Amino acid sequence: MGAGHDAAAQALATRARLRGVDVEIVDLLSLPRHHQGDLLRAYYHGMIEVAPGLYDWAMRRWIDHPALFETITGRGGRSAERPLLDRIAAFQPDAIVAVYNLAGQVLGRLCSQGRLEAPVATYVTDPGAHPYWIWPGVDLLLAPMPATASALEAMGAEVVKPVAPLVAEHFLNPPDRSIARERWGLPPDARVVLVNGGSWGVGHLVRVAGRLATGVDVVIVLCGHADRLRRRIDAIPGARGIAWTKDVVGLLAAADVVVDNAGGTTCWEALAAGRPIVVHRPIAGHGRLNAVALAEAGLAQFTTRGEDLLEAVDQAAPPAAAAAVFSGPHAADVVTSLW
């Protein structure tokens, strides 16, 4: 359900393997036999693209009535329960970690029903807290900021521990800016802004790129798998669309400022690489929650109006608070303590 969850799983697995731990990564949405996971992914994608207001309304109502919405998602996750238990029985893990909220709910429900005995933790990929990360059967929540941990506790989570955000190690040691710019064919002295549209390329990215191109030298837009979006970006003078790439760290190193609309994993990666962030016109639901949380923590600027975007980019500077965020314990070290 988006590349950010995959990136968190890979970062956790890499660190755990370095500790000599055997790891298996399971994609929950690939498990149902009748492709219900694909349908759920398509439904969510359609909601944030076509009916973001409805999705935002549901996210806000969920905060007030979590039991109702957890009943709905419980039915949606039921088709994954039996195949997930089969995978768990085959691997026999000492601990299980969810990095996606529906996975945490499924695992928590299985624990509450006595169908799963291994300890379960959920790593929260978002800085913005929401009840959909919380389930009574989960032993431990891992939150990427102390403020996120406190907010989750206020929502009813019993055991929450702040950890450093899960990012791949190379984001903490990015390449030199001049090397990164040479790699991507960028002028050494240009003012470069990197715009992130995620793996799906969602949001007002064409409008954002056009506005930025009037005030900076180069605008690079991460378009993910959205080929049509990339072609539209390439038609804007001064803008360049980038298809799905594994060299995100190189683009972050080459950029002066990162503009994001989800406040998730790419923001953690940008902060790890020492780049300032502007969260502009965040996507509905968790995007807005994340933008508020990052701004309140002093980790990003948050803008909603187009006329404020260029000013925010001009004023953006690497936040001093980022170092403290990444000084926390690694999630893999906390998880291995579960056994």
Same domain, 230 and 304: yes
* Same domain assignment for residues 162 and 175: no
pLDDT of residue 108: 93
Spell out, as residue ranges, where the chain has pLDDT lower than 70: 76, 339
Q: What is the pTM of this model?
A: 0.91
Residues 197 and 116 in one domain: no
Other C-beta atoms lying within 10 Å of the C-beta of residue 6: 16
Overall domain count for the chain: 2
Is the four-CA dihedral 258, 290, 335, 87 of positive or negative sign?
A: negative
CB 163 within 8 A of CB 329: yes
- Domain holding 35, by residue range, is 3-166+327-336
218 and 82, same domain (yes or no): no
H/E stretch holding 65 reads none
Q: What's the order of all strands across the beta sheet hosting 277-280?
A: 239-243, 218-224, 192-196, 257-260, 277-280, 301-303
Compute the chain's Rg from CA coordinates: 20
Shared domain check, 292 and 189 = yes
Question: Would you state the pLDDT for residue 71?
Answer: 76
182 and 98 within one domain:
no
Return the pLDDT at 60.
Answer: 85
Residues 189, 124, single domain; the answer is no
Q: 135 CB contacts (<8 Å, ≥6 apart)? A: 70, 104, 105, 107, 108, 109, 112, 122
Both 104 and 216 in a single domain?
Answer: no
User: Which CATH number fits the domain that encloses residue 265?
Assistant: 3.40.50.2000
- 222 and 313 share one domain: yes
Helices (H) and strands (E) in the chain, counts: 16, 10
The reply to whether 257 and 210 lie within a common domain is yes
Q: Are residues 266 and 332 in the same domain?
A: no
Query: Is residue 192 located within the same domain as residue 307?
Result: yes
pLDDT tens figures, 245-267? 999 999 999 999 999 998 899 99
User: 10 Å Cβ neighbour count for 143?
Assistant: 27
List C-alpha distances in Å: 302 to 52, 196, 294, 311. Answer: 19, 15, 8, 12
**What type of residue is 220?**
I
